[in-house]
Amino acid sequence: MDTETTKTDPYGNNERPELKFLVSSQIPMIDEALAAVGEFGEVRLIVERGRLRFVVTQKSFDAQKWQPGDFARKAKLSRLSF
């Protein structure tokens, strides 16, 4: 678990609340997964034995904006492995 101290902003709110499940090194990974799905998509966190085990991303495409070749072109640009 992350035991870093929290900082407060001028309004008395925690800028970095204490983490109860994640460790601070996992936050950038989740942020990167959210950025990878782009305009539409899902990020699922899979927990096994009480620990974060997998980050699953699913990218979706707007059928109203589809152009021939979009799926292949965008798949090459957004390949990530975690």
pLDDT at 82: 46
Domain membership flag for residue 8: no
CA distance 11 to 47: 35
The answer to whether position 16 is within a domain reads: no
Q: Is the pLDDT of residue 65 over 60?
A: yes
Q: Is 1 contained in some domain?
A: no
Is 17 contained in some domain? no
Q: Is 5 a member of any domain?
A: no
Does 13 score more than 70 pLDDT?
no
pLDDT by residue (tens digit) across 25-46?
999 999 999 998 888 899 999 9
The answer to the question of residue 62 being in a domain is yes
Domain with 72, as residue range(s), is 26-77
Residue 47 lies in a domain: yes
Contacts of residue 55, defined as CB under 8 A and 6 or more positions apart, other chains included, come to 29, 30, 33, 43, 44, 45, 46, 82
5 pLDDT higher than 60? no
How many structural domains compose the chain?
1
